[in-house]
Chains A and B, each alone.
Chain A
Amino acid sequence: MISYTVTTTVIGVGIGLSILLLIRHDRLRSPYALWWMAVAVAVIFLGLFPQLVDRLGFWLGIHYPPVLILVLALGLLLLKILTMDLERTHQEQKLRLLAQKVGLLEAELRRLRQAQVKDGHQDGDDDGAEQEAEEEDGGRLQHG
């Protein structure tokens, strides 16, 4: 049977290094990178020195120290998920605004193009232009 320190070291260092690698390859953007960096350091540290948990538990008056880690981890995860949903809501708002703006701009563009075609038609330089534009317009509407 191997010592439990080996197991925690392998798990801790594995997780920590994966996070650091992701940050190094720019897969995690700045504010998230900072959070995960802290997680990586903590995981590596606790993996290398699991006795720290016992010591900390003793200081904080917790009879069964491993619970401390579970409670802390759960609390931090909850916090993280909450901030993720906040961020998602914010992004959803921006996405909606953007979509509305695209719709309005498209309508404006269509109107300008029709006006242009009409002007061209009045000048008499291109008889087929209006029909062409209308068809193109219809086609675009259909494709959305």
Chain B
Amino acid sequence: MFEAVLTVIPAYNEARVIALVVRQIRALGLPCLVVDDASTDDTARCAARAGAWVVRHPFRLGAWLAIQTGLHYARLEGFRTVVTLDADGQHLPAHVPDLLGPVCRREADVVVGTCLRRLSFQRRLTCCFWRWLTGLPVRDLTSGFRAYGPRALEFLTAEDHTLLDYQDLGVLLALWRAGFRISEVQVEMAHRLAGRSRVFSSWWEVFRYLLHTGLLGLAKQRRGGSR
């Protein structure tokens, strides 16, 4: 059922936990690619030793670009579906099949794994604002636990999409505007093994995030029908 599926983990300075995450994925029998976004620690080597393929960026490009590099890799190597997970261990590889279900059944082009129980107040607030602004049918827009089907893969590896900052929203919005089918699957998430959210580290960051993404949302209101 899950042939030609590649798991992609964007990682920046996650040497402490990356090996564990990679081993869990490999135990499921899935190939795993770690895109090291120019970490200053041993992330790349730890991932490679744990059995992952590793692509390293020459300098830091951000989370979305790391994911996009993974999507490029997938297409080059003939994979048709990609599942992305965070490197900090909060996305449980055991839920990967749940995410793949709708994509494999061709019910959706993109599946977002959400855990409403784990949403902080700030995150809930921003997501509410976002749903109101854009009409996106997803409750946790910031989740990086996603499955991308073949058509989404092709769409997102286009040159135009190298400038999608704010990967969580920018990417969903681009897909939504182009008429791709986005669906949501409830999953359990673990506590982060390391690090903390870089987006919601303070109220100032939340404000900045809202400002930037709010502009994005206003500028890219959806027009036209579904694909």
The answer to whether B159 touches A93, judged by C-beta atoms less than 8 angstroms apart, is yes
Asked if B35 is at the interface of the complex by the 8 Å CB criterion, the answer is yes
Taken together as a complex, chains A and B put the C-alpha atoms of A99 and B48 apart, in Å, by 20
Mark B37-78 against chain A: 1 for CB-CB distance below 8 A, else 0: 011001011001000011111110100010011001100100
Q: Which chain B residues lie closer than 8 Å to A92 at the CB level? A: 163
The answer to whether B42 touches A107, judged by C-beta atoms less than 8 angstroms apart, is no
Q: Which chain A residues lie closer than 8 Å to B53 at the CB level? A: 107, 111
Q: Which chain A residues lie closer than 8 Å to B122 at the CB level? A: none
Mark A84-107 against chain B: 1 for CB-CB distance below 8 A, else 0: 000001001100110110111011
Interface centre among A97, A100, A142, A144 (most CB of B within 10 A): A100
Asked if A71 is at the interface of the complex by the 8 Å CB criterion, the answer is no
Contact of B72 among A100, A106, A138 (CB under 8 A): A100
Contact of B69 among A89, A100, A141, A144 (CB under 8 A): A100
Q: Which chain A residues lie closer than 8 Å to B73 at the CB level? A: 104, 107
Taken together as a complex, chains A and B put the C-alpha atoms of A111 and B48 apart, in Å, by 12
B30 to chain A, nearest CB (A): 18
Residues from 122 to 144 in A contacting B, C-beta threshold 8 Å: 138, 141-142, 144
Contact of A142 among B35, B38, B42, B162 (CB under 8 A): B42
CB-CB under 8 A for A99 and B61, given A104-B76, A141-B44: yes
Q: Which chain B residues lie closer than 8 Å to A141 at the CB level? A: 44-45, 48, 54, 56
Closest B residue by C-beta to A134: B48
B80 to chain A, nearest CB (A): 18
Taken together as a complex, chains A and B put the C-alpha atoms of A97 and B164 apart, in Å, by 12
Q: Which chain A residues lie closer than 8 Å to B54 at the CB level? A: 107, 141
B65 to chain A, nearest CB (A): 6
Taken together as a complex, chains A and B put the C-alpha atoms of A99 and B39 apart, in Å, by 14
Q: Which chain A residues lie closer than 8 Å to B56 at the CB level? A: 103, 106-107, 141, 144
Taken together as a complex, chains A and B put the C-alpha atoms of A106 and B38 apart, in Å, by 13
Contact of A100 among B39, B44, B162 (CB under 8 A): B162
Q: Which chain A residues lie closer than 8 Å to B58 at the CB level? A: 99, 102-103, 144
Taken together as a complex, chains A and B put the C-alpha atoms of A138 and B42 apart, in Å, by 10
Q: Which chain B residues lie closer than 8 Å to A104 at the CB level? A: 55, 69, 72-73, 76
The answer to whether B163 touches A103, judged by C-beta atoms less than 8 angstroms apart, is no
Residues from 68 to 96 in B contacting A, C-beta threshold 8 Å: 68-69, 72-73, 76
Taken together as a complex, chains A and B put the C-alpha atoms of A102 and B68 apart, in Å, by 14
Taken together as a complex, chains A and B put the C-alpha atoms of A89 and B42 apart, in Å, by 32
The answer to whether B45 touches A99, judged by C-beta atoms less than 8 angstroms apart, is no
Mark A51-90 against chain B: 1 for CB-CB distance below 8 A, else 0: 0000000000000000000000000000000000000010
Q: Which chain A residues lie closer than 8 Å to B162 at the CB level? A: 93, 96-97, 100
Q: Which chain A residues lie closer than 8 Å to B159 at the CB level? A: 93, 97
Other than the known A100-B65, A141-B44, what 9 A-B pairs have Cβ atoms closer than 8 Å? A93-B162, A96-B163, A97-B162, A99-B59, A99-B61, A100-B69, A107-B55, A111-B53, A138-B45
The 8 closest A-B pairs by CB, nearest first: A107-B55, A141-B44, A96-B162, A100-B69, A103-B55, A103-B57, A141-B45, A102-B58
